[in-house]
Amino acid sequence: MRKTTKTLAVALATAATITMPFSTEAHWLSSAQEKAIGTQAANDFAAECSVEHNQLLEHIQKRIMMFNSDKLWMYGTPGKKRGLEPVLMAKNDSANAISYGGGQIYVYEGMFDHLATMTSGAFSYNKNEQTPWKKSNIYQMSAMAAVMGHEMGHWENEDMLRQYDRQMDTKLIASLIPVGNVWALLGVAAGSNLINAFNSRDMGFKTEQEADEKAMEYAMYVPEYSVGGEAIVEYRAYNYKTMRGIEDKVTNWLHPHSKTAKRLERALRKIEELSLGFVKYGNDFDPTFNGDTHCGAAFLYTDAKRQFDAVERNFFVVGQIAAAIHFDICKTRYIKVMREDQVFTDGSPNNVVLILEGRGNDFKDHTKIIDTYYNVSLQDAKFWAESPWDRIADKYNAMISQESELANLAYMRGMIEQYENNRKKYKYKSEENAHVR
């Protein structure tokens, strides 16, 4: 055994000095080989279930890529060896999505149903009871953007190439070890399945966490998509398991994903980090604004909507506020209010949206849609959004018992003012800790 251990150490040291001979891109495979193998893997998947174009997915992909064009681009873009293909819908009832090394991404039809709505405290797969998929349904759209962004993150991080690199490195090391049962010694399966290395199912803890973080980063730059979309996705998955008595555990230790509750917690802690501590992660996945509020009780989410929807609204709003703080545009002078149909082609003239729009600390213009307020006139909304808190405090307190959406808007305006008045309090000790791309 001592001789074998020494031989393995020598083999590892030898492998570390060997450069990958087949690519100038520091991978075993070239971009052309990645595309060919990834396409074959994607075609094999498409042969198993029907796939088709979907306008909603194409719209979300376009929005994500438009605001992250330095990191994401379509295949065939001049000067780029790699690229993404249009995201397609797969006719499969599972609440899932998958991507391949050639830039192909598929969202399962079951994911549409899973993210649509809850009815009477349970997930509804009756399409007549689901919230319609519209661009103006920003909580729902942010969740789907998180799902797609996760798969795009696998592509940007070159995870399938890295996966194949690991398999080839293992085989290279194994070829240098003069023992009989090399694969048993290394604790891995004999050989490597090239096709399986090129899909996003076969990833591990760290790889999946990095893809989650990429999805949140992409959303940060899109006006209507919240980094809280990742929390919405994991919250729904967690509740789905809880309602059905499914244990939240790691089920595949060969290609493990973190527990759903852990992924949800990580998403909320990332929101806390982006907000420089203004949004605080609490027990039971309850993010709240830090410090003593100067506008009464946290009424924002005690509206007429179902409690489940209110939680998701919470995730969306705190995610948008966190991004605004990250870009340093969470300031009252950057507040603007518009009718929903002026922002979204399928929006309602009866609703208004609260927006933060201004020049960020990266010297770029940023826009974040903070929330939608239902059945509120533009005139009333502008009054509440443009009034300092000392002018509206009494009126706000009188509206609390009425469960008015105007009170929700006033509360959010108060939170922005509170952060602005306490900006120095909610800063890291070193400004360098605030990452700006």
The one-digit pLDDT tens for each residue of the chain (437 residues) are 444 334 333 333 333 333 344 333 577 678 888 888 888 889 989 998 899 999 999 999 999 999 999 999 999 999 999 999 999 999 999 999 999 888 999 999 999 999 988 876 778 888 888 888 999 999 999 999 999 999 999 999 887 777 766 665 444 444 444 444 433 433 434 334 444 544 555 567 788 899 999 999 999 999 999 999 999 999 999 988 888 888 887 766 555 677 899 999 999 999 999 999 999 888 788 888 886 555 444 444 444 344 667 788 889 999 999 999 999 999 999 999 999 999 999 999 999 999 999 999 999 999 999 999 999 999 999 999 999 888 888 887 777 766 678 888 988 998 999 899 888 888 754 344 444 44
CA distances from 420 to 278, 392, 424 (A): 11, 17, 9
Q: Which of 313, 303, 305, 309 is nearest to 403 (CA)?
A: 303
Q: How far apart are the first and last CA of the chain?
A: 50
Which residue has tokens 């993210």? 115
As given in the structure block, the two tokens for residue 84 are 């993404």
As given in the structure block, the two tokens for residue 47 are 């042969």
Compute φ and ψ for 434, nearest 5 degrees.
Answer: -85, 105
Instruction: Give the pTM.
Output: 0.84
Contact 416, 331 (CB under 8 A): yes
**Backbone angle region of 328, left / alpha / beta, with phi > 0 → left and psi within -120 to 50 → alpha:** left
d(CA 319, CA 337): 19
d(CA 123, CA 114): 7
Contact 97, 181 (CB under 8 A): no
- 3-state DSSP: the chain helix, strand, coil percent, rounded to 5? 50, 10, 40
Looking at residue 380, what is its pLDDT?
Answer: 93
d(CA 319, CA 235): 14
**What is the residue-wise DSSP string for 208-249?**
HHHHHHHHHHHHHHSTT--TTHHHHHHHHHHHHHHHTT----
Looking at residue 263, what is its pLDDT?
Answer: 93
Looking at residue 133, what is its pLDDT?
Answer: 93
Looking at residue 287, what is its pLDDT?
Answer: 87
**Backbone angle region of 135, left / alpha / beta, with phi > 0 → left and psi within -120 to 50 → alpha:** alpha
Gyration radius from the chain CA atoms:
24
d(CA 109, CA 161): 27
CA distances from 336 to 1, 203, 327, 353 (A): 71, 43, 17, 8
Looking at residue 403, what is its pLDDT?
Answer: 65
Q: Which of 397, 226, 240 is nearest to 324 (CA)?
A: 226
Which residue has tokens 């039971």? 284
Q: Which of 216, 220, 239, 63 is nearest to 153 (CA)?
A: 216
Q: How many Cα atoms sit within 13 Å of 371 on the Cβ side?
A: 28
d(CA 110, CA 98): 13
Looking at residue 292, what is its pLDDT?
Answer: 54
Q: Which of 105, 26, 14 is nearest to 60 (CA)?
A: 105
Which residue has tokens 């809850």? 118
Please enumerate, as own/partner, the contacts of 364-369 that have beta carbons within 8 Å and a separation of 24 or more.
Answer: 366/221, 366/323, 366/324, 366/327, 366/329, 367/223, 368/223, 368/320, 368/323, 368/324, 368/327, 368/329, 369/138, 369/223, 369/224, 369/320, 369/343
